[in-house]
């Protein structure tokens, strides 16, 4: 799987390169600035990009903006964002086009290589990998909206885990429920949010995130 990586800190960038290569990824570019990232994304057309939000020259949001520009040129280009902080605006911008293949992880919450590699693969496959803190803030910002207000506490738990990219089986294990109970809660969530039910986990998650981002799926 072909990867473009953008990280300004040399040791972290080099570490990520070695980690991904050890798990069978091909690093086609490892860059340290926003302009370099955009050029690599458009020139290499990778299967997934792993991107730090803040890159030179200004260390604001060059990484994110380069990724968004590339996604406009290459719709659906999978992008996994790494950040030190939860930035709701950044998360919403990343989710805004609703085409899938997006992730937003907090650097200090990635606890092992398996978790990170799984997130990269899930995003590359068109799914989502959102840190729970990011999802919680997105939900909280819309908590008073009428549809979300109709959700039960258990449905909100299921919704948050769906947004992380978890399957019904994984949600059932996490919440100590049966898969049939999770399926029932999922159906209730979609009914209350006026979203079409789908057997495709990625599409379901993207539909929910699109709704939380203020758009209709």
190 or 177, which is more confident: 177
Would you place residue 206 in the very low, low, confident or very high pLDDT band (cuts 50, 70, 90)? low
Q: What percent of the chain has pLDDT over 70?
A: 87
Residue 215: pLDDT above 90?
no
Q: Which pLDDT does position 146 carry in this prediction?
A: 65
Report the alpha-carbon distance of residue 60 to residue 70 in Å, rounded.
18
Q: End-to-end alpha-carbon separation of the chain, Å?
A: 29
For residues 43-54, give the mean pLDDT. Answer: 96
Please give the sequence-ordered ranges of beta strands (E in DSSP) within the chain, or none if there are none: 2-6, 26-31, 48-52, 79-83, 102-106, 128-130
Tokens in use for 48? Answer: 């997934």
Q: What percent of the chain has pLDDT over 90?
A: 49
* Residue 68 contacts residue 62 (beta carbons within 8 Å): no
Q: How many CB atoms lie within 10 A of CB 58?
A: 10
Residues 155 and 183 in one domain: yes
Where a domain ends, among 135, 163, 192? Answer: 135
Residues 130 and 152 in one domain: no
For residues 58-76, give the mean pLDDT. Answer: 92
Q: In total, how many domains does the chain have?
A: 2
Q: Which domain holds residue 126?
A: 2-135
**Does some domain include residue 217?**
no
Residues 26 and 128 in one domain: yes
Q: Which pLDDT does position 27 carry in this prediction?
A: 98
Task: Round the CA-based radius of gyration of the chain to a whole number and report it.
Answer: 17
Q: Mean pLDDT check: name the lowest of 62-66, 138-142, 212-216.
A: 212-216
Where a domain ends, among 88, 105, 135? Answer: 135
**Does some domain include residue 37?**
yes
CATH number at 34 reads 3.40.50.2300
Residue 113: pLDDT above 60?
yes
């Amino acid at each position: 799987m072909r990867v473009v990586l953008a990280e300004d800190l040399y040791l972290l960038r080099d570490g990520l390169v070695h980690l991904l290569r050890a798990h069978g990824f091909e690093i086609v570019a490892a860059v340290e600035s926003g302009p370099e990232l955009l050029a690599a994304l458009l020139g290499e057309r990778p299967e997934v990009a792993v991107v730090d939000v803040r890159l030179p020259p200004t260390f604001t949001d060059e990484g994110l903006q380069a990724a968004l520009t590339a996604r406009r040129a290459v719709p659906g280009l999978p992008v996994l964002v790494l950040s030190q902080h939860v930035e709701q605006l950044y998360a919403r911008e990343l989710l805004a086009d609703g085409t899938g293949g997006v992730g937003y992880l907090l650097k200090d919450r990635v606890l092992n290589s398996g978790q990170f590699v799984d997130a990269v693969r899930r995003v590359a496959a068109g799914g989502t990998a959102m840190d729970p803190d990011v999802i919680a803030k997105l939900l909280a910002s819309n908590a008073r909206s009428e549809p979300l207000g109709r959700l039960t506490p258990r449905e909100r738990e299921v919704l948050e885990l769906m947004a992380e990219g978890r399957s019904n089986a994984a949600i059932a294990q996490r919440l100590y429920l049966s898969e049939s109970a999770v399926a029932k809660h999922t159906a209730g969530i979609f009914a209350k949010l006026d979203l079409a039910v789908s057997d495709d986990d990625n599409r379901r998650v993207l539909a929910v995130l699109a709704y939380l981002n203020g758009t209709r799926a």
